Amino acid sequence: MSEWMAGGYDAALREQIRGWLAEDIGSGDITTEATIPRDASAKAVIHVKESGIVAGLPIAKLVFEMVDPTLVFMPKLEDGQRVQRGDVLAEVEGSIHSLLTGERLALNLMQRLSGIATKTRAFVDALGGLPVRLVDTRKTTPGHRLLEKYAVRVGGGANHRFGLYDAVMIKDNHIKGSGGIRQAVEAARARIPHTMKIEVETESLEQVEEALASGADIIMLDNMGAALMKQAVSRIKAAAPHVIVEASGGVTLETVRVIASCGVDVISVGGLTYSFHALDISLDLHAKKGGESL
């Protein structure tokens, strides 16, 4: 997370958190206001109820700090660590009103990010050290893209492009709209800076040949079976060893190693960020009032 904070994302993240808190709090926490004295304080323990990879501790810390700067957030682990049921992730101490105000948002974010990191780690483990990079896609939750892509990195994966602005990816509809792969690549090359790469999505050997002839920097093999993929990789590496080969489409834990063995350089998996099981994480209070145990 630190690289994004340093890159100016801190202000944008804080603005999002303010909006998410406002959505949850509205005009006020009716239940807490009605049942708990204003001066009540507590230490809260955040713990995990199933095994996985933890992600989002710095985000949870920021949520609580924005709710109440006097709250003290004490992480017990670091993002990326493997956890088991019952492990304590962090402790937070201070006003019970503030703790309960920030609880749900902090847990929601940690549960989702930990789920993504856990699924990503499962794919990384399935690859077993093969020389291939596992990456995400743009199939992310609106408003959560940078956080979800951060969770992929925590899980041991890497990031594909972040949006429509940072790389050229010519997909099937671009090919149809421009009249062909060659036309699309030539038009893109004339518009973009020399520092930007061009990726072309292909579904057949014929399209692979056209992408090679057009001078594409990255060729994606989309929804190809293993036999066809091996042929495509062999052809690309023989003709242009510098071209990066990416496999995508319907990749699962059961098929990812087979795909990697075809010789591709990158495997992109949309399901890392849109189809995952959120980790079960809870917060429990150990409350005090006026220095006495409740």
Q: Give catalytic status of residue 201 as yes or no.
A: yes
Q: Give catalytic status of residue 197 as yes or no.
A: no
Q: Give catalytic status of residue 171 as yes or no.
A: yes
Among 14, 43, 76, 139, the active-site one is 139
Q: Give catalytic status of residue 85 as yes or no.
A: no
Among 138, 171, 230, 235, the active-site one is 171
Report the candidate in 287, 278, 294 with the shortest Cα–Cα distance to residue 100. 287
Report the candidate in 254, 260, 264 with the shortest Cα–Cα distance to residue 232. 264
Among 43, 104, 138, 235, the active-site one is 104
Tokens of 140: 């992310």
Among 79, 148, 201, 265, the active-site one is 201
Among 148, 199, 222, 246, the active-site one is 222
Report the candidate in 78, 73, 66 with the shortest Cα–Cα distance to residue 45. 73
Report the candidate in 253, 81, 256 with the shortest Cα–Cα distance to residue 156. 81
**Helix H segments across the chain?**
2-4, 10-25, 30-35, 57-67, 96-127, 145-154, 172-178, 181-191, 205-214, 226-239, 256-260, 271-274
Separation CA 10–CA 1 (nearest Å): 9
Tokens of 139: 């199939």
Q: Can you say whether residue 46 is alpha, beta or left, with left for phi > 0 and alpha for psi between -120 and 50 degrees?
A: beta
Tokens of 165: 């602005």
Q: Give catalytic status of residue 82 as yes or no.
A: no
Cα-based torsion angle of the residue sequence 252, 253, 254, 256 in order, rounded to the nearest 10 degrees: 70
Q: Which residues are catalytic?
A: 104, 139, 171, 201, 222
